[in-house]
Structure 1
Amino acid sequence: MSVYVDNFRVPATVGKVRGRWSHLTADTPVELHAFAERIGLRRAWFQPRCTSGPCPAVDGVCVHFHYDVVDAKRKAAVTRGAHPIDLRAFGAIISARRAAYRKETSHHE
């Protein structure tokens, strides 16, 4: 199992929370949810869908699946074993998921 947290750290206010936000993801949605629970994230904060355009799915979830996390949760994730990655690596993970999806669906046609 691999869990990743990027270094995006974009400043934003979401609801009442103001901070620098990064993306937490994992190899599968199941792994991501289990890890997110361990660091105190609510399942309601999961982002299963792409915000623009059609998105290939893994286990019925958009390949861009992630939780947004503020710096304190990013630090907690790294402390608990998440791999810190840069934003380009996060993009590469999403691209690899998309390619795997396309490869899988092309075999079913």
Structure 2
Amino acid sequence: MTVYVDDMEASYGRMVMCHMLADTTEELLAMADKIGVQRKWMQKAGTHHEHFDIANSKRALAIAHGAVEIDRAGLVEILRNRRAAMSASKEG
């Protein structure tokens, strides 16, 4: 199981933001706690799109704590896999 940070560089005020997601909600929340991101900032909780938008300074902390860097193609693949897994768990 893994936490991921993508290479998006979206401007938000004076910050540059990226996405942080994980294989499981528990891993995502644990990493948010480790790097000082408030849980209330989770977006699309409970869906396959569940993630945090984090500043590049937090991205660096996440990587230091073991997060894996991914590109846009990697992000799409992870979201596709999460959607399939969630769909399969609802059917079974």
What is the TM-score when the length of structure 2 is the normalising length? Answer: 0.90
Aligned-residue identity in percent: 37
Of 34, 42, 47, the residue aligned with 1:38 is: 34
Other structure's SS at 2:66 match: coil
Q: State the alpha-carbon separation in 2 of the partners of residues 42 and 102 from structure 1.
A: 28
What CA distance in whole angstroms lies between the structure 2 residues aligned with 1:43 and 1:103? 27
The structure with more radius of gyration: 1
Q: Which runs of 5+ in 1 are unaligned?
A: 50-60
In structure 2, stretches of 5+ residues that fail to align are none
- Give the number of the structure whose residues are more often strand, by fraction: 1
Measure, in 1, the Cα distance between the counterparts of 2:80 and 2:73: 10
Equivalent AA in structure 2 for residue 38 of structure 1: K
Instruction: Name the CA distance, whole Å, in 2 between partners of 1:104 and 1:31.
Output: 18
Q: After the TM superposition, which segments of 4 or more aligned residues of structure 1 sit over 6 Å from their partners?
A: none
Partner of 2:56: 71
Deviation, structure 1 residue 97: 1.1
Question: Number of paired residues?
Answer: 92
Which residue in the other structure is 1:23 paired with?
19
